[in-house]
Structure 1
Amino acid sequence: MSSPTTPCATLQCSDLRFAHAQGAAVFDGFTACAASGAALVRGEEGTGKTTLLRLLAGELQPQGGQVLLNGRPCGDLAANDAGAVFWADPRASALDGISPAAWFAALARRHAAWDASALQAHVAGFGLESHLPKAMEQLSTGTRRKALLAAAFACGAPLVLVDEPVAGLDRPSVQYLQQVLAQRAVRGGPGIVLVAHYDALAGVPWNAVIDLP
């Protein structure tokens, strides 16, 4: 379902260092890598999963080391190419006031490799049809997350960041999520879907697993 025009991707964290203000270091010399396909960042609560995604998305800046996508700093890519990295924080209120349908339309203009047929399939797979015209803040936690997941899997970005995907999902949606991720892992590229979660998600043959201490 990904566009053949999307380049294959390589992600590398080298000697990464980061600490929140007045806090202990989250990362101190952290190194990891992933290539095209589906990769898992695995760790318990408080190990830095979301922080790592925010560093990769350019929301936070490393205090040492590098986070690179295809040899370029992720922060530079995110700042200069809106379609290079997909990241939508499921806990943020940035999308309040907009409907999933309007958000999808805006994303389609931003991402050159946006796949409309894939979006349609994911909307159906997650059972989102009746929720498309509603405002995001009117959606339940699970339904809002389904909208984020449908967009993530349709965007075609070289790097797609997904945080704790099963929170609030019903069982059929979890099964559909596992199916989509498994297909992405088996198919490989072209881009990287990087999922942060506390376990491996049954049935997903991850191309890489990055364990956080």
Structure 2
Amino acid sequence: MNLSSPPLLRIDALRFAYPDQPALVSNWSASIGPGVTLLYGDTGTGKSALLQVIAGTLPAIGRLTVAGVSLDTAPEAYRRQVFFVDPVTDRFDQLTARECTASLVEGDAGFSDAKWQAIADGFALAPHLDKKMFMLSTGSKRKVWMAAGLASGRPLILLDEPTAGLDAPSTRCLWATLTGFADQSKQAVIVASAARIDTVPLAATIELPPG
């Protein structure tokens, strides 16, 4: 974390558990600043659930605040500070990739068309932009979502296992794009992954205990 920059995400006394299950986190507090933070843990440790909690799409006990906006007091405003797409969602299936992108960046005043175009080119998305999302492979769907997220101007960007289904050139584009977040002060990216990341400068690593 850049200690000269204020945290973009504050987590205060967070507790989350599925019904009749042990808590994934209990009384967890953290401050996450700009740059890339790795949320690391094996499969089954709850990384995806925690991203959904932080995104404000899965209820939990505690307080979450992004860029000064708290989920408990201003839920819609909070969610507008966060970019997150659940990789298993089917809600975009009937949209083209281009329409999906437009939907995801609606209201995002800081969205960069130029950055999106560069990432879309790096992901080789051009042949897929006018196809319906249900026609795309798992990897291509992730590319569409990630291109929108990585070009977003939102303070917090959440990526769940971003390399799943990606080819080698797209993975290199992803790492290069994430590296670009290292030297700025306005955005935090949390990458949930079951693999260590040594190709991107990390601001912090949060390691979850074994499931």
TM-score, with length taken from structure 2: 0.90
CA RMSD of aligned residues (A): 1.9
The aligned runs of 1:133-212 (5 Å cut-off) are 133-185=130-182, 187-212=183-208
- Code of the residue aligned with 2:8 in structure 1: it is T
Matches within 5 A, 1:82-93: 83-93=80-90
Overall identity of the aligned pairs, in %:
35
Deviation of residue 37 (structure 1)?
1.4
Query: 2:67 — aligned with what?
Result: 70
Corresponding residue to 2:10 among 9, 12, 17:
12
Deviates more, 1:46-55 or 1:98-107: 98-107
Structure 1 spans left out of the alignment, 5+ residues: 1-6
Q: What do residues 181-205 of structure 1 show as CA deviations (whole Å, max 9, x unaligned)?
A: 11212x2331111111112323111
Q: Is the 8 A contact 2:34 2:184 kept in 1?
A: yes
Q: Would you identify which runs of 4 or more consecutive aligned residues in structure 1 move more than 4 Å? A: 75-78
Q: Distance in 1 between matches of 2:93 and 2:194?
A: 27
Identify the residue that residue 120 of structure 1 maps to in structure 2: 117
Letter in 1 for 2:127: S
Question: 1: distance between equivalents of 2:172 and 2:74?
Answer: 33
Residue number in structure 2 paired with 1:3: none
Select the residue among 81, 87, 94 that pairs with 1:97.
Answer: 94
1:118-158: CA deviation from partner (whole Å, max 9, x where unpaired): 11001001010000001111100111111111011111111
> CA separation in 1, counterparts of 2:205 and 2:79?
27
Q: Distance in 1 between matches of 2:14 and 2:6?
A: 23
SS at match of 1:206: coil
Is this contact kept in 2: 1:9–1:189, CA < 8 A? no
Q: TM-score, normalised by structure 1?
A: 0.89
